[in-house]
Structure 1
């Protein structure tokens, strides 16, 4: 029985922090695979700066040569009305029927779920397991204990909280701004992705 982490993000673009975070989570939580899941530009709660095609290509370039990392374009292929984390995790549990699936997310998203901002929130928490990464200023245990939804559906293994050394804040937004303003973010993202962005004149 393998342990699979689903790591969803816009990856616009994928950064070295994304890769370092995924590698660290895999090491600490003994994951056999991390699935990089770029979200679709059709999602109503996201505004993408880059076409799905380019983000998908950069994810594949960024994770090549690491056998623990795989990319999946499941959400990119879905109709907008079908896209939700609950449905996505249900899909991966069908794909990896004999394995344990974890959704990897930041503590800021845990707050959003606690506040009822996610579709199918109750079923999502009842039926899935989560690896939650610390974010500055968020007390993850307090978020869980203050939320009836989270605390009443936590059987002790629902949330794996990682609260040490994962709060690096080099964001995709910062890198996009550097490209747009003529900066030099070369060493903040995979070398192949840097050259891909230059070749395709992205983020100008």
Structure 2
């Protein structure tokens, strides 16, 4: 099987997350996408929604698509082991006979190339990646400008450009909720109702 590992805060999960995962599955002929919510202990994440709420919303959002599956591997990792390199190592052991691809946006490629990710060099050396376009980022130039990335560029970076630069951020949705806005149709209806029922994101940021 070919499996995409889609890591994000999912705070909350949005319709663009789902559309992106479906498009990646189709274009790259993946059999499954693992939705991997970020651990709250990560130093590079600032999360508002608790683990339970974010996990429940991912479950609600992906319930109707058999290609999609929740993984709490990062959330449940020991302190210090919650970063992507360690998570991918554990997932390789769980899926020893499958091909794993870490799915990320071009902005993350920039961060890894700059050396700001924990064990970023080993992550790049040992795994394959599907990289999604982001507005204003030239993925090929990003790879060529980084010694870390260009010296590992043996086909492990699968760039998905055309039509994947749609931007609706979780931050925007949280801001709308906190200011009494109406982001209802930017996320799955089940997740919108969950947020309203539990009063999430109601405090101003």
TM-score (norm 2): 0.96
- 3-state DSSP of counterpart to 1:183: coil
- 3-state DSSP of counterpart to 1:165: coil
Q: Distance in 2 between matches of 1:4 and 1:164?
A: 21
Q: Counterpart in 2 of 1:184?
A: 182
- 3-state DSSP of counterpart to 2:75: helix
1:164 and 2:162 matched: yes
1:33 and 2:32 matched: yes
Q: Distance in 2 between matches of 1:30 and 1:85?
A: 23
Q: Distance in 2 between matches of 1:110 and 1:121?
A: 10
Q: Conserved in 2, the CA contact under 8 Å of 1:132 and 1:162?
A: yes
TM-score (norm 1): 0.97
Q: Counterpart in 1 of 2:2?
A: 3
Q: C-alpha displacement at 1:118, in angstroms?
A: 0.8
Q: Distance in 1 between matches of 2:43 and 2:148?
A: 24
Q: C-alpha displacement at 1:122, in angstroms?
A: 1.6
Q: C-alpha displacement at 1:79, in angstroms?
A: 2.7
Q: Conserved in 2, the CA contact under 8 Å of 1:107 and 1:133?
A: yes
Q: Counterpart in 2 of 1:86?
A: 85
Q: Counterpart in 1 of 2:62?
A: 63
Unaligned runs of 5+ in 2: none
Q: Counterpart in 1 of 2:100?
A: 101
Q: Conserved in 1, the CA contact under 8 Å of 2:81 and 2:87?
A: no
Q: Distance in 2 between matches of 1:109 and 1:79?
A: 23
Q: Distance in 2 between matches of 1:38 and 1:161?
A: 22
Q: C-alpha displacement at 1:80, in angstroms?
A: 2.8
Provide the aligned length of Structure 1 versus Structure 2: 202
Q: C-alpha displacement at 1:82, in angstroms?
A: 1.2
Q: CA RMSD in A?
A: 0.8
Q: Counterpart in 1 of 2:192?
A: 194
Q: C-alpha displacement at 1:183, in angstroms?
A: 1.1
Q: Distance in 2 between matches of 1:9 and 1:78?
A: 15
Deviation beyond 2 Å, 4+ runs, structure 1: none
Greater mean alpha carbon deviation, residues 29-38 or residues 164-173? 164-173
